[in-house]
Amino acid sequence: MAKSESSSLHIYNSLSRKKELFEPIKPPFVGLYVCGPTVYGDPHLGHARAAITFDVIYRYLQYLGYKVRYVRNITDVGHLEHEEEEHGEDKILKKARIEQVEPMEIVQRYTISYHKGMDALNCLRPDIEPTATGHIIEQIELVKKILENGFAYEVDGNVYFDLEKYRENNSYGELSGKVLEDLQAGSRDTEGMDEKKNPYDFALWKKASTGHIMRWDSPWGEGFPGWHMECTTMSTKYLGKKFDIHGGGLDLQFPHHEAEIAQCKSAYGNDPVKYWVHNNMITIDGAKMSKSAGNFINLEELFTGNHDKLEKAFNPMTVRFLMLQSHYRSKIDFSNEALVAAEKGLQKLMTAVDLLDMIELPDGSPENEASEDREILDACKQCQDSMNDDFNTAQVLAALFDLASKINAIHNKQLDAGKVSKSAFEKMKNTMNDFVFDILGLQPISESKDGKTEELVNLLIDIRSEARENKDFATSDKIRDDLQEIGIRLKDDKDGKTTFEIDG
């Protein structure tokens, strides 16, 4: 299956808390489901961490030759402000109320914003991106099935999952390691407690209160699905009742993913997922990111530098590179110093890739087994061995920098190119290109349409617009033609607005 004879892929399974050999249920097909964003605000670093983590996993599985179906949902209803206690307003509904617009306007605006941010980070789009509101009927059917199987009960239009009944023959809390009784003992929330058989029962369907806009007909009256229902519904619809990988942030283990397992077992009688994969969180200057602490940074602020904690704008590829420098199960601390260091590291790596294309081995170089081959081949093998060791991108980058040092030494004549065989050189070239671009998803900063490149091009567009207004068509045409020569094409629409595209 894999492109080399390197070690087999092992994945850390959050459920078993150990690395396991990756064996798909139905090879060569792999089902990958990832919890996507709740679209009520602009994408931030937390969204980027999850997206980059599973983008690399998606890319690597494809590199190994698997036929991957990647499903990532959009939550556009049912996610309440205080999800663990299940109270407060729907997050999207609250944003719509504050801005005095329809909830679906909020959904549309921030879905577009999310896509724009993830595209800038060079994250591949999923194969399927279902929405919660697009699967209300399926969610109602799943609630009905859980009720029919005796694991839920209805009270005045609300349907709750009966955890005590479930725990008669099933464990609950294995994924997160949380103990329900301990959690309830420390909770002060009492909303809905008079309706529930037990305080930790969670809602499968919520009755819509007066004035609640987002509501649908159901056998239990008008209401909306509980947050946990959507992922169970959509993952099993598109990937089957048992699929390979379910991913998401570490903060989703409880209650969201625990509830998914319970819902699936209650409806279908089996664990839904073979491998649970969770990425860790990020901090800003050592502190948890939060709006109240003033260190909440969304991606647009990061890319433009428009935030008090940022000294300058940072290219999306710098952000991606910084995240890849840590293993996905480790915390990442963002700071100006870390971003500047990542910027330099990315440039060093890209310079080595450019030099590699310029190097030609001298005539007479051996075809195989030259004196300098071993370290090169070891570093190439380390790249794939590291990815096979639970997608360890930090170790991959370390091996790529070892190769970069060899490339620089050959280019600077510190290493005799004649002592490198043609086969090892080709292996190094293929490894650099495969891992830097195809697997890690990095791009040269100069190819990105964001950051300083965009600022400079927009400045030239403004100058060109002024020239056209002044009928200075010679200057206008020169700016357009000169930009086109370096791969930047200007497009004028019928309203006189100019946009640009970067070739390649």
**CA 353 – CA 52 distance, rounded (Å):** 22
Binding residues: 35, 231, 256, 260, 291
What is the pLDDT confidence band of residue 22, given thresholds at 50, 70 and 90?
Answer: very high
**CA 329 – CA 320 distance, rounded (Å):** 16
pLDDT at 2 over 50: no
Residue 136: the pLDDT is 97
Which residue's structure tokens are 């009492």? 190
**CA 91 – CA 132 distance, rounded (Å):** 14
**CA 246 – CA 243 distance, rounded (Å):** 8
Residue 187: the pLDDT is 38
3-state secondary structure of 493: coil
> Per the omega criterion (within 30 degrees of 0), is the bond before 255 cis?
yes
Q: Which residue has the higher pLDDT, 216 or 186?
A: 216
Q: Which helix (H) or strand (E) holds 71?
A: strand 67-72
Q: Which residue has the higher pLDDT, 34 or 4?
A: 34
What is the pLDDT confidence band of residue 440, given thresholds at 50, 70 and 90?
Answer: very high
SS3 content of the chain, % helix, strand, coil (to 5): 45, 15, 35
Q: How many contiguous H segments (helices) and E segments (strands) does the chain have?
A: 16, 17
Amino acid at 158: N
DSSP 43: -
Average pLDDT over residues 36-40: 93
What is the pLDDT confidence band of residue 137, given thresholds at 50, 70 and 90?
Answer: very high
The reported pTM is 0.85
How far is CA 41 from each of CA 93, 235, 423, 458, 496, rounded to the nearest angstrom?
12, 24, 51, 26, 31
Residue 211: the pLDDT is 79
What are 257-300's pLDDT values in tens digits? 999 999 999 999 999 999 999 999 999 988 888 766 777 899 99
Q: Is residue 366 within 8 Å of 421, Cβ to Cβ?
A: yes
Q: Is residue 263 within 8 Å of 146, Cβ to Cβ?
A: yes
pLDDT at 82 over 70: no
Q: Which stretch of 255-264, 356-365, 429-438, 446-455 has the lowest confidence by average pLDDT?
A: 446-455
Average pLDDT over residues 115-134: 97
Average pLDDT over residues 478-491: 83
pLDDT at 73 over 60: yes
What is the pLDDT confidence band of residue 190, given thresholds at 50, 70 and 90?
Answer: very low
Residue 111: the pLDDT is 95
pLDDT at 83 over 80: no
Residue 496: the pLDDT is 75
Q: Is residue 345 within 8 Å of 351, Cβ to Cβ?
A: no
Residue 476: the pLDDT is 85
pLDDT at 447 over 60: no
pLDDT at 411 over 90: no
Average pLDDT, the chain: 89
Average pLDDT over residues 378-385: 97
What is the pLDDT confidence band of residue 33, given thresholds at 50, 70 and 90?
Answer: very high
Binding residues for Zn(2+): 35, 231, 256, 260
Q: Which stretch of 306-310, 348-352, 486-490 has the lowest confidence by average pLDDT?
A: 486-490
Say how far residue 439 (Cα) sits from the centre of its chain. 14
Q: Which residue has the higher pLDDT, 292 or 396?
A: 396
C-alpha radius of gyration, the chain, whole number: 26
How far is CA 302 from each of CA 160, 328, 335, 348, 449, rounded to the nearest angstrom?
41, 21, 11, 22, 15
Edge-to-edge strand list for the sheet holding 282-284: 287-288, 282-284, 332-334
Q: Which residue has the higher pLDDT, 320 or 103?
A: 320
Amino acid at 310: L
pLDDT at 492 over 80: yes
3-state secondary structure of 9: coil
Average pLDDT over residues 477-494: 82
Residue 86: the pLDDT is 55
* Angle (deg, nearest 10), helices 422-433 and 393-411: 130
What is the pLDDT confidence band of residue 189, given thresholds at 50, 70 and 90?
Answer: very low
Which three-class secondary structure string do you get for 274-339? EEEEEECCEEECCEECCCCCCCCCEHHHHHHCCCCCCCCCCCHHHHHHHHHCCCCCCCEEECHHHH
**CA 121 – CA 123 distance, rounded (Å):** 6
Q: Is residue 1 within 8 Å of 66, Cβ to Cβ?
A: yes
pLDDT at 234 over 90: yes
Binding residues for ATP: 291
What is the pLDDT confidence band of residue 67, given thresholds at 50, 70 and 90?
Answer: very high
